Structure 1
């Protein structure tokens, strides 16, 4: 086997934690049982660039059970759980290239190691594999069958590629499935983001002013959970519709330049760059905490902070917290997990029970691609409605929840246009 991980001796611990996650992933487990019998993924070589976590391990085990060959690498330098990487290599025979804390050169070396294997399916979280493939390995595009994308940031990049006619093969936007973004993004990000900030800083949120940048599904979840822990929440937005929704949900909505002097904790979840930048840093309170839960480490302008702090103005004050001196103001701001994904950089990511639905969508979308690959164009596809509904049905069944069923009269009424007011 070829692999590059931190320590193979961590494999037993990783195996235990993967099994613990599996106990909360009933939907994925039911899909795996079917895949083991039907082998719908035979012939697929999947390059899986995902967060190497216990939940991801269960997805990769499911894909392997379906007959796929897999090579895995990390989709973020700080999100890898080294014991899980070891377990994937030793116990699952999945060649894995991921080390927690790897530098940028190693990160892209690992992506290249996966692409050197000449996969025909990409499974991306942030679009780095797809971008690398198109930018530096265009000759391999003819080998590609299809791909999937897990997160909002990656879908944004893919749609930009499609709009410019640059996308070389079909990709399913798994992130946009209702059973993904309505639950993973909202409830998963909401809980795991605050978990990461609290683990790293031990901050008490009750009574604090928490500024949430972005009110998409991730922002909704973060704002809701912060309020639930007693924080006063301010939302910043650029889009009038989510801004109006935030107001109707009871939050204050301000431009960041007005929120900056008030905030105690700042959390970015936009998918864009420079959301917190020099003009904001200079207005912040002494001791303000800055964290990012968007995919890439560009939402907080760390280069600007380094420039403001100067060569002697930065120091590590806790294992995952860096303190920056804000110029000659005498004030300091604290950055959690280097401005990278705080829920994975400083905690364990989303709970397994919510990732169960997201990764069920991944597995079933790959099966759908394998079945329909000869009829697809090089564009971004939504997850088919029947897959979305099947994931919801299986999740409810695993939770012991049953639904009402339409009577025949109700069904006929819904299908008719002739019945009106009596």
Structure 2
């Protein structure tokens, strides 16, 4: 717990109960523990995760740990953390967790840096990324270190109008002053990253095309087990749940426009129709249409 930062460690008991429930809904991970746990295939591997710190992510974290990995984790969104999940993982010391719901942008990037910083080591061996922020921080950090080594130029938050990138530059400015080769060493340590969002994958492709990608990347976003399950069934389940939690309105009878009829669009349209909405679909791709 000493190396974690969560909102309220007192929520750990509640989080542990929900983790037990979630394990029954995630048989693939549980079978992986049973089949490979004794062999410890991830023994000695350091894994950093930048992924929504939810109960389901907690089951993933504990699976990685059960397979032998050492894990440090942060959330990839300032609002997505379930505090009881983060507390349960932190209290069990399954992983070092830096996440709480309602982080400021400054806190978010601090948490990302903490998840990437391994005491006594140069960095993680592998990264589980969602949105590409952990990958971005390493690449931007190395680029800024090279500029500092060349002419002493430090990152300056005033050079950008983007509020979030100001936070990135602030983190890197402080980091480079303390250790001017931290991110360069980290980039050499990372064996690879997995990315599960379209935005993150596009960013990786752009870096690869420019010859700037510092380590191998796995495109999980286009993996068939994601596109045919999560994109369709995950959205179909979570969309009406999210709308009702956020607005507390009845969906039945409402007019809903679904922009795009790919896998996500199909799942969303089915969910809204099932809830009684009048669904209108727009699509520019004739194949999807």
Matches within 5 A, 1:326-337: none
1:223 to 260, 265, 269: 269
Deviation string 1:112-147 (CA, Å, 9 cap, x unpaired) is 111222112110111111111111145021111111
Which residue in 2 is equivalent to 1:91? Answer: 92
**What are the equivalent positions in structure 2 for 1:23-422 lying under 5 Å apart?**
23-117=24-118, 118-137=123-142, 138-139=183-184, 140-242=186-288, 245=289
Counterpart in the other structure of 2:180: none
Cα deviation for residue 213 of structure 1 reads 2.4
String of CA shifts for 1:283-309, please: whole Å, max 9, x gaps. xxxxxxxxxxxxxxxxxxxxxxxxxxx
The two structures have a TM-score, normalised by structure 2, of 0.80
Output the TM-score relative to the length of structure 1.
0.56
The answer to whether the 8 A contact 1:61-1:92 is kept is no
- In structure 2, C-alpha distance between the alignment counterparts of 1:237 and 1:102, rounded to whole Å: 36
Q: Aligned-pair distance for 1:230?
A: 1.9
**CA radius of gyration, larger in:** 1
**If each structure's helix is expressed as a fraction of its own residues, which one has the higher value?**
2
Measured in 1, the distance between the counterparts of 2:14 and 2:253 equals 38
Question: Structure 1: where are the runs of 5+ without partners?
Answer: 246-422
Residue-by-residue CA offset, 1:308-360 (whole Å, 9 max, x unaligned):
xxxxxxxxxxxxxxxxxxxxxxxxxxxxxxxxxxxxxxxxxxxxxxxxxxxxx
Q: 1:216 and 1:168 mapped to 2: Cα distance?
A: 32
Deviation at 1:237, TM superposition (A): 3.7
Kindly state the Cα deviation for residue 233 of structure 1 after the two structures are TM-superposed. 1.6
User: 1:35, 1:62 within 8 Å by CA — same for their partners in 2?
Assistant: no
CA drift at 1:187: 0.8
Greater length-normalized contact order (CA 8 Å, ≥ 6 residues apart):
1
- What RMSD, in angstroms, separates the aligned Cα atoms of the two structures? 1.4
1:65-91 superposed Cα distances (whole Å, 9 cap, x missing partner):
111110000011111000000000112
Cα distance between partner residues in 2 of 1:92 and 1:152: 32
Contact 2:61 2:94 in 1 (8 A): no
SS at 2:127 equivalent: strand
Residue by residue over 1:248-281, the C-alpha shift from the partner in whole angstroms, topping out at 9 and shown as x without a partner, is: xxxxxxxxxxxxxxxxxxxxxxxxxxxxxxxxxx
Following the alignment from structure 1 to structure 2, what is the Cα–Cα distance between the partners of residues 60 and 35?
15
Q: 2:284, 2:53 → 1: CA distance?
A: 33
Whether the 8 Å contact between 1:44 and 1:68 is mirrored in structure 2 is yes
Separation in structure 2 between the aligned mates of residue 203 and residue 65 of structure 1, nearest angstrom:
42
- Give me the whole-angstrom Cα distance separating, in 1, the residues matched to 2:23 and 2:200: 26
SS in 2 for 1:168: coil
